[in-house]
Amino acid sequence: MKFLWTTIHVKDMEESLKFYQDVVGLKLVNRFNAGPEMEICFLGEDDTKLELICSEKFKNIQAGNAVTLGFNVNSLDEMISLVNEKGIGIKTGPVQPNPNLKYFIVLDPNGVKIQFAEQSGKE
């Protein structure tokens, strides 16, 4: 079995696309209407795929704190500079739980926890 994608129901498609393209660096690969008052966007390539769904039916959803999406970055310091430049507050970190991993967490526009991690060597 192969993992396909993660789906997030979003409150504002434009705001969410801006975050996932400009901050996370995912490429928009498909955008379409899926019925009345529903739009779907797919972002990412290879094994990193994200589906965003914006629908009037789901405007009052609340992102839980039980899920975190983790993204690998080459430089944690550069990523911290980028999120600061974009005015995004850091929720947790930076943290270094072992010599090979450093990370920090921000919230996307919908309250989903996004972890940016720099890995070195083996874990």
The answer to whether 103 and 118 are in contact (CB under 8 A) is: yes
Instruction: Tell whether the model's pLDDT for residue 87 goes beyond 80.
Output: yes
Instruction: Tell whether the model's pLDDT for residue 120 goes beyond 60.
Output: yes
Rounded to the nearest integer, the mean pLDDT of the chain is 92
The answer to whether 54 and 42 are in contact (CB under 8 A) is: no
Which of 9-18, 34-43, 61-70, 85-94 is predicted with the least confidence, judged by mean pLDDT?
61-70
The Cα–Cα gap between 10 and 41 comes to 11
Instruction: Give which of 57, 55, 49 is closest to 32, Cα–Cα.
Output: 55
Q: 106 or 66: whose pLDDT is higher?
A: 106
Predicted TM-score (pTM) of the model is 0.88
Mean pLDDT of 100-110: 95
**SS3 of residue 111 by DSSP:** coil
The Cα–Cα gap between 119 and 100 comes to 6
Query: What's residue 123's pLDDT?
Result: 46
Instruction: Tell whether the model's pLDDT for residue 17 goes beyond 90.
Output: yes
The answer to whether 80 and 104 are in contact (CB under 8 A) is: yes
49-84 confidence digits (pLDDT tens)? 999 999 988 777 777 777 899 999 999 999 999 999
